[in-house]
Chain A
Amino acid sequence: MTPEIGQDLSLFHLILHASLPVQIVMALLLGASLMSWWFIFIKMFSIKRAIQVTDRFEREFWGGGDISAIYQRVAGEREGAGEMERIFEAGFREFMKLRPQTGLSLNAIIDGTRRAMRATYQRELDGLESHLAFLATVGSVSPYVGLFGTVWGIMIAFMGLSSVAQATLAQVAPGIAEALIATAMGLFAAIPAVVGYNRYTHDIDRLANRMESFMEEFSNILQRQVTSKAP
């Protein structure tokens, strides 16, 4: 590795002249960064939409609307429905199916409804939390990958130094600079991923809390409906 003093140490020059392992690490990190940003944006859209739709549904539900009218609307728009709407729909459908059946106790009806809601809730939560594991992985691993690239690059730089009689900074500086780019890229991939992961887990936790309390409240409402009609 001949040092080229005074040559322009532009970023691309450094990347193109890096050793192969360092280049592989850089490519890996670039891919990880692209993927994590992609997921960050996907999650941003989907969580924002989930919160909006949930807000709208809660307003509609607690605004005193007719439950069966809401069910009709939600069942109509299959694809556009939000998470909480689907929980409501699953629970209410189960309830409607169970109620006409004779010989079922009140508890059985409510339990069945609740199970149906719980299942939908789990599924929805799973959908919301998808890709978050990837963000967590990128956030925790890519600094180490970048560090590996840097260590490797510095090793190469110092190996090149061993063959010259007089060691100057100019002989190692380009190698170290190119190696440090790997760390920079690792951090560039990791920081948004960690921020996104924390942000989205927080948002999803809050959404999950809202869904769970809705499930409880809706069960109560259904129970009231049954007991008021049963006698």
Chain B
Amino acid sequence: MISAADAPRNARSPRKALAGALALGVHVLFVLLLIFGVSWQTRRPAPVMVDLWQALPEPSAQPPARPQPLPPPKAPEPVKAAPPPPQPVEKEPSPPEAPDIALEKRKAEADRLKKLQAAKAAEEKAKAEEKAKAEEKAKAEAARKEREKQAAEQKRQALLRQMEAEDMKQQLAADTAANEARMTSLSEARAAASKRQAEVASVVGRYRDQISAKVRGNTRLPDDLKGNPQVRCLVKLLPTGEVVSVRVTQSSGNPAYDEAVVRALEKSSPLPLPADRDARAAFVPELSFVHRPKE
């Protein structure tokens, strides 16, 4: 007889929903981890280009500072409204447009300034921009104070304009100074390159000494050697320092001695070589080797 109790039981349903939620959770967690992990990693090595300046470039910093002191005197004095517009092209238009109060004086002043400027530019190369900056600041400050104080005095206008002209020239000077700074940074880079060369040279010298010491240790000098004759060999090297071939390019006159040096070189294989790529270039693939019995 077969009853319902005989029927095989189904395995009870496991907690499928919970398992599904957990599986999703694992993936969400992993993706979050990846997003944060990867975004942290990608942000770190962002390339940054740096220009080295000895001082901040003056011209770019000045224009925003300029307009501020000017407006206040403009408002109370309608006569003063003239100076601001010609400012950018001050050099040429200012003389004709200016009132005739101090034309002569101004011309003389301008001449003097030009000369002064030329002298300055010529003599001060390294410190020009610092000085210019300081002077400029001081002058801007003074100009502002004067303007505020003597807004009523029209006499001073010409003087003010002169000062502005001076400022413009100083701006130019600052420009040239910035250029000079750039030049100096360039020359610094060149200096760094030459420093690197010097480093390489010192490494090369050190290894040259090591090589000759090793060869010297392996040299068996012939008995009949007299004096301190010099042998010059051309050694072909593998990058590992292995000696491929040795050829005498300048004999000492004593064949036995030449032979001894060649043997010593072959015996010294591998020669010590610097790890630095640039320094290694002095040795591989060919090395001109000079040997003297007595150093």
Contact = CB atoms under 8 A, between A and B. Distances in A.
A73 B34 CA distance: 51
Contacts of A39: 19
B27 A42 contact: no
Interface residues of B, number: 23
A142 B38 CA distance: 23
A34 B9 contact: no
B213 interface: no
A9 interface: yes
Nearest to A40: B23
Interface string A121-165: 001100110000000000000000000000000000000000000
B19 A45 contact: yes
Contacts of B6: 93
Please tell me the size bucket of the interface on A.
20 to 34
Interface string B22-34: 1110110010001
Interface in A5-54: 8-12, 30, 33-34, 37-42, 44-46, 49
A9 B39 CA distance: 9
A46 B16 CA distance: 10
A123 B15 CA distance: 20
A41 B23 contact: yes
B223 to A, nearest CB: 62
A79 interface: yes
Of B8, B11, B24, B35, most buried by chain A (CB within 10 Å of CB) is: B11
B14 interface: yes
A119 B15 CA distance: 26
A78 interface: yes
Nearest to A39: B19
B5 interface: yes
Nearest to A36: B23
Contacts of A100: none
Contacts of B277: none
A78 B5 CA distance: 10
B294 interface: no
Contacts of B19: 38-42, 44-45
Of B16, B22, B23, B34, most buried by chain A (CB within 10 Å of CB) is: B23
Contact of B8 (A11, A12, A42, A123): A123
A153 B223 CA distance: 73
Given A79-B12, A124-B11, 6 more contacts: A40-B19, A40-B23, A41-B23, A42-B15, A45-B18, A80-B12
15 contacts: A11-B35, A11-B38, A30-B27, A37-B22, A40-B23, A41-B19, A41-B20, A42-B15, A42-B16, A44-B19, A78-B9, A79-B12, A120-B8, A124-B11, A128-B11
Interface of A: 8-12, 30, 33-34, 37-42, 44-46, 49, 75, 78-81, 86, 93, 119-120, 123-124, 127-128, 188
